[in-house]
Amino acid sequence: MKPSKITTAVRMLCTMRQKLEERAVENGRSLSGEIVFRLRKSLEEEVQDGQKQRA
């Protein structure tokens, strides 16, 4: 089954968007791709930190 995608509007500071756009260009991603990449990475780190605390 293919994962579904949705569109979500997010409010952010102009400076944050500019930084994300710069990083997206540096990493060869779209702005959306960069945001999703960073959110996924953050969530994965959160899970790993939780596992370390339980060990």
pTM to 2 decimal places:
0.81
48 confidence band (pLDDT: 50, 70, 90):
confident
Q: Which amino acid is at 13?
A: L
Residue 31, in any domain of the structure: yes
Is the pLDDT at 54 greater than 90? The verdict is no
Q: What's the domain count of the chain?
A: 1
Q: Tens digits of per-residue pLDDT, 12-45?
A: 999 999 999 999 999 999 999 999 999 999 999 9
- Whole-number pLDDT of residue 52: 79
- Whole-number pLDDT of residue 36: 96
Range of the domain at 36: 16-54
Q: How many angstroms separate the Cα of 46 from the Cα of each of 10, 20, 54?
A: 21, 21, 13
Residue 9, in any domain of the structure: no
Alpha carbon distance 10, 35 (integer Å): 11
* Terminal-to-terminal C-alpha distance of the chain: 34
Alpha carbon distance 38, 33 (integer Å): 9
